[in-house]
Structure formats: C-alpha cells, structure tokens
Amino acid sequence: MPASSYGFEVGSIRCTVLTEGYFSYPAAWFFPSADPDELSRAFEGHRLPREQVLSPYTCLLIETGSHVVLVDAGAGLHGPAGGAIVARLWTAGIRPRDIDTVIFTHAHPDHIGGAVNSSGRPVFSNARHVLAELEWDLWMTGCADLRRLRVPCGVRDSMRATARQCLHSLRFQTEPIAGESEIAPGVRAISAPGHTPGHLAVLISSEGQHLLNLGDAAVHPLHLEEPAWENGLDLAAAKAVATRRALMERAVAERMHVMAFHFPFPSVGRVTPRLEGGWRWTPGW
C-alpha cells in the first residue's frame, strides 16, 4: 500500500503531507494541448503509462505552534477514498476539531469535498475556511461557466454542483480574501489565477526556509518540464501557464521547496532549471 503521510519542518513550522487516496485520470485531461508523439516520448522516458495518470490527492497539515492549518480538505465522499483525510489527521495526532483554519486553494471537488460530511455539516467545526473572493464569486454568484474546461460535460456539472453545495454548507465559517494575505504567522495565501479565477498558492516561511504549495497550478511534473503544455482542467489556460512560469521562477530564485496537490507522493520536492527549458522536479525534502 502506498505511504499516506510524510512529515518535515519548514524552520520551526511542522508540516505533514497527507494523502487521501489516488485517482486515475485520462492522460488527455491533463495534457490536451501536448503533441501526442512528444507526450508519448515523455511518458516513456519516465516509465509512465501512456493513457492514464495515477494522481494522489494530497493535503497539507501545518502546525505553527499557535495555529493548526489544513490546506485543502480532499474529496471526501466525492472521491475514491470516502473521506480518508480525517483518518490521516487522527494518525497524525490531530482531531478535526483541532483544525482552526482550512485554506482552499480553490473549490474543485477534490479540494473542498472533504470539508463537508454526509449530513451536509462542516467536518472542521471550529475552523474558519479561507478562499479567494473571486473563487466564492465564481461558484456562488450566478452559474459558473465551465465550457472552456476540456473534460466531459458530466464532469463539469459535478464540479459546479459540489462546489455550490459545499460552499453553501460552509457559508457561516467562510472567510473570502482579496489578494495576498497572511493567514497565520508564517503562512501566506498568494493569488495564482488560471486554474480557476481565484486559485491560490500557499507560501510557508520560517527561519529562512520556504515551502510553496502550488495547489493545482501544476498537476503533474511534466507541466514543469513542459510548462506550455496546458491542463484541460484549467479554466483560463494561457493565464494558468503564465502563473505556473511565475511561480517556478520565484521558487528557483528564492530557493523554495515546492509542493503540488496532484504530484506523485510525497508531493513535495525541489525544482531546478533544465538546459532545454522548463524545470526538473526532484521529490523529497
């Protein structure tokens, strides 16, 4: 069985990657703009299956000493593991009521579904739930236009319904934010639009060390090697590519470790520039 947690320190801040489970996506969803021959060669070079991408759902637990923060809540009952993130938290010694802040990088089902239980009530009853104002507006004001997503219509409908349902259940605990904001000491939310209009990255900094959580600004290491390859789940593909480049350039310039929700476990690692362009991903702290 694949490992489900991975702990490390960012300075004095304790971080634990918690994997809720794994889901197999059609490769065409993740790389719709890639030349098929180039994509096949890239998969072959990394010894990966060509038709499917096995992707983890990885949340990040942050313990600052004064705050217990969870970045993304997994899919919960909307995903393959039926809410395993709560079990992962218990294994880490954290009860759901211990979480005082949940940060949603965005409101796709695999990131927000785990915040609401089968009765439609908040799982993290004592937590404020932080997301971008633009993200709230996308899903809760009018009907979200998802026609630019290159996935089946049924998937788009499910995304829209789950986001609205979960955000409605969390409405009394939700704190929309505008722009870059400090969420807790050493924990900042950074605007990273493209995947969704209000998509956030999260920067953890302590004692000169940094971890940049990309959320879904990249959903596979090949998106770093070939940053121009679009993701079919990006609502604004060109903006997402520009955001991905900007985040990688910052990570390299400031010597940051990087995490991404869908990257292979442990979902955290380093990036270095490639001579041929893009960036190379090396997993591990």
Per the structure, the complete domain to which residue 272 belongs is given by: 5-283
List, for residues 102-148, the tens digit of each pLDDT value. Answer: 999 999 999 999 999 999 999 999 999 999 999 999 999 877 899 99
List, for residues 170-224, the tens digit of each pLDDT value. Answer: 999 999 999 899 999 999 999 999 999 999 999 999 999 999 999 999 999 999 9
Q: What pLDDT was estimated at residue 21? A: 87
Q: How confident is the model at residue 255 (pLDDT cuts 50, 70, 90)?
A: very high
Q: What pLDDT was estimated at residue 144? A: 86
What is the bridge-based pairing of β-strands 128-132 and 101-103? parallel
Q: What mean pLDDT do residues 263-270 have?
A: 95
Counting the structural domains of the chain, the total is 1
Q: What pLDDT was estimated at residue 191? A: 98
Q: What pLDDT was estimated at residue 15? A: 97
Domain harbouring 197, CATH code: 3.60.15.10
Q: What pLDDT was estimated at residue 84? A: 86
Q: What pLDDT was estimated at residue 1? A: 39
Q: What pLDDT was estimated at residue 82? A: 62
Examine the pLDDT at 163 and tell me if it is beyond 70.
yes
List, for residues 223-252, the tens digit of each pLDDT value. Answer: 999 999 999 999 999 999 999 999 999 999
List, for residues 10-46, the tens digit of each pLDDT value. Answer: 999 999 999 998 899 999 999 999 999 999 999 999 9
What is the C-alpha separation between 138 and 140, in angstroms, rounded? Answer: 6
